[in-house]
Amino acid sequence: MLKEHAKLMGVFAACGEVIGRKKLQKMIYIAKKISFPFQEKFEFHFYGPYSEELTLRVEELCNMEFIDEVREKKGGYYQYRYTLTTEGEAFLEHAAVDIPCLRETVAEMNNQSARFLELVSTVLYFDTLTKEEVAEKIFTLKRKQRYTEEEIQEAYTYIEKLKNNLQ
Amino acid sequence: MEYSNSKLKEEKVFKDPVHRYIHVRDLVIWDLIGTKEFQRLRRIRQLGTTYLTFHGAEHSRFTHSLGVYEIVRRIVDDVFAERPEWNKEDRLLSLCAALLHDVGHGPFSHSFEKVFHLDHEAFTKEIILGETEINAVLSKVHKGFPKQVAEVIGKTHENKLVVSLISSQIDADRMDYLQRDAYFTGVSYGHFDMERLLRVMRPREDQVVFKQSGMHAVEDYIMSRYQMYWQVYFHPVTRSAEVLLTKILHRAKELNQQNYPFTYPPLHFYSIFQEKYILADYLKLDEAVMLYYFQVWQEEKDPVLSDLCRRFVNRDLFKYVEFDPAKEYRKHSELEALFKKAGIDPEYYLVFDSSSDLPYDFYRPGEEEERLPIYLLMNTGELRELSRESDIVDAISGKRRTDHKLYFPADLLTDDSSKRNIKRQIRSILEI
């Protein structure tokens, strides 16, 4: 029961705190793409890969009081912070879900900005295309974010680094 | 005349209970409707197992796809046609994407995709780009056209306005299915003033927006969507049927892995069981084929498979109780142990189900750039997110409502002919 929820709780446990819904979405997508066993279904949306299932699971975890959500005003918009609660820790221990290397991988991603993770997840979304085609997709679909060629190259390097850490 | 602009000599119409008539003048659209991949959608229900709850819900993805096409046709031909922000050259692309947006759906697709880790969007792409009749029609428009249609449906096309017509928080897909599902289920929710919505739509660079004066029509649509989710899509009896369906597929897959000697071998499932996703095999699977197997598998020697199939075919569904996983997760472990002692496999007969497992969503105001929200076009020319202007939408989009249930076969638990005391303990925990 709640196996998929427990996997997400493992992410919050590893990160201590995740700041931002967008960041969380991209972290889980990237983790799934580099072969961690997350089952949430993602689709491409205006801001890159997005999973409604993931959003709903996070809401359920909040309702169950397994994670704590803090909404704070940041200039003209709201930002959300997520942490695991004591009840959540107890459930996680009961669920005994252990995914090798997940802790280190998500903790590493949590140090990156949401903007960079959006780029990394978009590069991964188009992983069947050539590098040139991916760059073209990013320059057209994400033109408002004004990503540079250097940033795209950085995203590729980062993906390699994440994959190498798993070996 | 170019194929892309070719018109039928006489307009064809499909009589439709939701839109009255669906009008087809474009030869390309007519040809697409005639392809075998599109005709297959007649044999896939729009609402999966909902017909076991609302007996009228037998409508297919074929009728829904025609409906989405008709809504987009009216938007591009009647509402956007003379607007400077709209490029008329995107008309055929929009119509084809609308018509084909669901072409990759499999039988009972939600459960089917969950069990076999499939994605209907990947099949949609393959049907449009692969060696199919649909691809042959689209390629006649021009060589790159199939790719463009696939990108619009996959939401990766650079023209975000066209994408938003078919896929956004207020798109032709939802406008059709809400009304169609309401009509066929017979519920009184799900109705809204689509005529008014279409009149107040305005094209913008990245998406469709709505004139401020049309806010109440948008509110009406959001409320319909909210009501339909709780009254139809999340209906606990439909979820019970989905639970059974999922367990049948799991059981058949597991038996196949164990080389179980099927009396009626699952010929149509072999490649799917082996996770070799061959398009030709996938296209042969429809709900008629699935229901054939459920019918004959009632006679299989495996007691779990035959029992689950009998329940599905005869609508002898699992019962349910409300379950609070946060407070009762230890109770679940206890129940699992007791089910095993009672000789009832909890893997197949004790099923926890959450609303997050369902493929429907609520309106989200798009905080933190999660999803693009619905924007109102104010009289000043400014764009404002809907829930900031509408108290009604603000009230329901801020509410977090989730739902969890525990499903089980009540008849097995009340059969005291064996393991009487254990079953009594189970009933006491479940409070039945």
Domain ranges of chain B: 3-233, 236-356+403-430
Q: Give the model's pLDDT for residue A46.
A: 81
A164/B17 Cα distance (integer angstroms): 57
A85/A104 Cα distance (integer angstroms): 20
Q: Report residues of chain A scoring pLDDT below 50.
A: none
| Domain extent for A157 | 3-165
Interchain contact A79–B (C-beta under 8 A): yes
Q: Give the model's pLDDT for residue B360.
A: 65
With contacts defined as CB-CB under 8 Å, which chain A residues touch B119?
Answer: 41
Assign 3-class secondary structure to chain A.
CCHHHHHHHHHHHHHCCEECHHHHHHHHHHHHHCCCCCCCCCEEECCEEECHHHHHHHHHHHHCCCEEEEEEEECCEEEEEEEECHHHHHHHHHHCCCCCCHHHHHHHHHCCCHHHHHHHHHHHHCCCCCHHHHHHHHHHHCHHHCCCHHHHHHHHHHHHHHHHHCC
pLDDT by residue, tens only, chain B of 432 residues: 799 999 999 999 999 999 999 999 999 999 999 999 999 999 999 999 999 999 999 999 999 999 999 999 999 999 999 899 999 999 999 999 999 999 999 999 888 988 998 889 999 999 999 999 999 999 999 999 999 999 999 999 999 999 999 998 899 999 999 999 999 999 998 889 999 999 999 999 889 999 999 999 999 999 998 889 889 998 999 999 999 999 999 999 999 999 999 999 999 999 999 888 889 999 999 999 999 999 999 999 999 999 999 999 999 999 999 999 988 888 999 999 999 999 999 999 999 998 776 666 778 776 666 678 899 999 999 999 998 899 988 888 766 678 899 999 999 999 999 999 999 999 999 998
Mutate which of A4, A23, A42, A60 to test chain B, going by most B C-beta atoms within 10 A? A60
Domains of chain A: total: 1
Q: Give the model's pLDDT for residue B411.
A: 96
Which ipTM did the prediction report? 0.89
Question: Could you tell me which CATH class the domain B3-233 is placed in?
Answer: mainly alpha
Q: Give the model's pLDDT for residue B80.
A: 94
With contacts defined as CB-CB under 8 Å, which chain A residues touch B160?
Answer: 46
Please report the residues numbered 192 through 251 in chain B whose beta carbons come closer than 8 angstroms to any beta carbon of chain A.
206
Q: Give the model's pLDDT for residue B395.
A: 86
Task: Kindly determine whether residue B356 and residue A20, on different chains, have CB atoms separated by under 8 Å.
Answer: no
Letter string b/e over residues A125-162, b meaning 16 or more CB atoms within 10 A of that residue's CB: bbeeeeeeebbebbbebbeeeebeeeebebbeebbeeb
Nearest-Cα distance to chain A for B146, in Å, is 17
Q: Which CATH number fits domain B236-356+403-430: 1.20.1250.30, 1.50.10.20, 3.60.21.10, 1.20.120.530?
A: 1.20.1250.30
Q: What is the DSSP string of B243-259?
A: HHHHHHHHHHHHHHHTT
Q: What is the DSSP string of B169-223?
A: SS-HHHHHHHHHHHHHHT-S-S---HHHHHHHEEE-SSSEEEEGGGHHHHHHHHH
| pTM recorded for the entire structure | 0.93
A5/B406 Cα distance (integer angstroms): 16
Task: Kindly determine whether residue A21 and residue B367, on different chains, have CB atoms separated by under 8 Å.
Answer: yes
